[in-house]
Amino acid sequence: MPNMSLKKNEMPVQDPMVRNGNFLEVALGYTEEQAVNEAERCLNCKNKPCVGGCPVAIDIPAFIMKIKERDFEGAYQIIAKSSALPAVCGRVCPQETQCESKCVRGIKGEPVAIGRLERFVADWHNAHATEKPQKPESNGHKCAIIGAGPSGLTCAGDLAKMGYEVTIFEALHLAGGVLVYGIPEFRLPKKIVADEIENLKALGVKVETNVVIGRTIEIDELFEMGYESVFIGSGAGLPNFMNIPGENLKGVYSANEFLTRVNLMKSYRKGSDTPIKDCKNVAVVGGGNVAMDAARSAKRLGAENVYIVYRRGMSELPARKEEVEHAEEEGIIFKTLTNPVEILGDEHKLVTGMKCVEMELGEPDASGRRRPIVKPDSEFVIDVDCVIMSIGTSPNPLIRNTTKGLDTNKWGCLIADENGLTSREGIYAGGDAVTGAATVILAMGAGKTAAKAMDEYIRSKN
């Protein structure tokens, strides 16, 4: 008899007023008992609607049944067939709009906590597994991966498992991409990312950091070096600004810069060599997950008041519901239906405030969301000494500018077909470099698809 509770087992979390002063992980993870109890809520549906909601098609009911049997390693092995980074996805996937949105239990009550169970299984495996993955026998063919983020790591892992000699080229000094420079420690501990990368290395994947493809080496040279196929997973790293007056004042950061300083360069730690401005009142402009990450990081760094400034309403926030709730619990103040028009500074060009206007929602626009319209004579100033612009990113132009014949669309995203193939033979692409800023799991799905296509391409040539 399944557990018919209408509610998920609650995730144990750090107390909001404690955690907003530290960078330790917010969610503490299920115990074995909680995991088994939650697994018992799964009806093991024959038609498995949840699997259709997963971009990498994990056999969800099968791994949950293993949890029910307390065969946690067995559960891990089922997930590992489809996902290269389960400990990461269990934490950062938007399950509520993917697998869990299709769960039959969600029709009446809450869906099965698939994400929390995935995380539990991955953490259990990482804590108990003694054997490293083995390097498969080489098939003698070389593939190059550009960018050590979610899509590149997934593509590399899949190709390595097929026997390819895989090298990942990473521009930064550390592998992980957005998982290490963007997503904060309190949401995704960096140790987890490092462990996943060690697993890839055990499979024989080489990681060359400090190589900027397009500058240090160009893609055409990779082919000369003997790589038969190339995957571009260079992400969407270029921050957008609003182009309003005052954006170059001291104290205005892109979310990318702010988060990179805090996460990758560890400026949240005392004694770090990389500085970050001491701020009392911080406005984060934008309403996505990155904005929530920036706001919650600013709070943890000691800011007294942190505002999310977003031009639409609470229900339009693009961030995951859980992230919004966590932010609210931690004391982040939401100023929705508010849009900045100017950032104000003093004689030393330090930020002193942000001039905003109030908005109201009009008719739905092309995206289907109600279009924000400025309320007349609604100007007001928020008293802040720091502004973090979190209004999206675009792909870096470096690769498209240095590789002949690589087509892009009007937003600068690489054009790739459903298999990830670009306009150049042998060159595949996926993740944010193709879609523009999206999610970790979609990037992983693209990396997987491309790995399969690259394998077919190389085999068709030989």
Partner 1 sequence: MYKILRKEVLNPTVTLMDVYAPLVAKKAEPGQFIILRVDENGERIPLTVADFDREAGTITIIFQIVGSTTEKLNHLNEGDYIHDFVGPLGVPSHTEGLKKVAVVGGGVGCAIAYPIAKKLHNLGCEVHTIIGFRNKDLVILEDEFTAVSDVLELMTDDGSHGTKGLVTNALLGLIEEGHNYDQVIAIGPLVMMKFVCQLTKQYGIPTVVSMNPIMIDGTGMCGGCRLTVGGQTKFACVDGPDFDGHLVDFDEAIERSSMYRGFERQKHEETCNLFKKEVQ
Q: Which stretches of the chain bind partner 1, using CB under 8 A?
A: 171-173, 181, 209-212, 215-217, 237-239, 241, 243, 247-248, 250, 253-254, 256-257, 260-261, 265-266, 272-275, 277, 348-349, 396-398
User: Which run of H or E residues covers position 64?
Assistant: helix 60-68
DSSP string computed for 303-331: -SEEEEEESS-GGG--S-HHHHHHHHHTT
Tell me the closest approach of the beta carbon of residue 235 to partner 1, in angstroms: 9
- Radius of gyration from C-alpha coordinates of the chain: 23
Instruction: Tell me if residue 198 falls in helix, strand or coil.
Output: helix
Minimum distance from residue 243 beta carbon to partner 1 (Å): 7
Minimum distance, C-beta of residue 265 to partner 1, in the bound complex (Å) = 6
Give the H or E element holding residue 124: helix 114-128
Under 8 Å between Cβ of 381 and 355: yes
Backbone angles phi, psi at 387, to 5 degrees: -130, 130
CB of 260 to partner 1, least distance (A): 6
Rounded to the nearest whole angstrom, what is the least distance from the CB of residue 444 to partner 1 in the complex?
21
- Rounded to the nearest angstrom, the gap between the alpha carbon of residue 209 and the centroid of all alpha carbons in its chain is 20
Question: In the bound complex, what is the minimum distance in angstroms from residue 173's beta carbon to partner 1?
Answer: 4
CA distances (Å), origin 344, targets 140, 212, 311, 442? 60, 36, 19, 39
Between 103 and 207, CB nearer to partner 1: 207
Helices (H), 203-357: 219-224, 255-262, 289-300, 321-329
Separation between Cα atoms, residue 412 and residue 426, nearest integer Å: 20
Q: Which of 300, 91, 63 is nearest to 179 (CA)?
A: 91
Q: What is the largest CA-CA distance in the chain?
A: 71
Q: Which is nearer to partner 1, 190 or 335 (CB)?
A: 190
Q: Report the nearest approach of partner 1 to the CB of residue 74 (Å).
A: 38
Minimum Å distance from CB 224 to partner 1? 13
Q: Which is nearer to partner 1, 133 or 392 (CB)?
A: 392
Cα distances from 300 to residues 184, 270, 354, 407, 435, in angstroms, run 11, 13, 22, 42, 32
Closest to partner 1 by CB, 250 vs 355, is 250
Q: Which two tokens stand for residue 132?
A: 């490293």
Q: How far is the CB of 18 from partner 1 (least distance, A)?
A: 27
Cβ 181 vs Cβ 260: under 8 Å: yes
Between the CA of residue 270 and those of 34, 111, 265, 267, 304, what are the distances in Å? 36, 42, 12, 7, 19
C-beta closer to partner 1: residue 44 or 248:
248
Query: Which is nearer to partner 1, 22 or 216 (by Cβ)?
Result: 216
Instruction: Write down the least CB distance from residue 232 to partner 1, Å.
Output: 14
Q: Cα(first)–Cα(last) distance of the chain, in Å?
A: 54
Q: Are 83 and 115 in contact (CB under 8 A)?
A: no
CA distance 23 to 257: 18
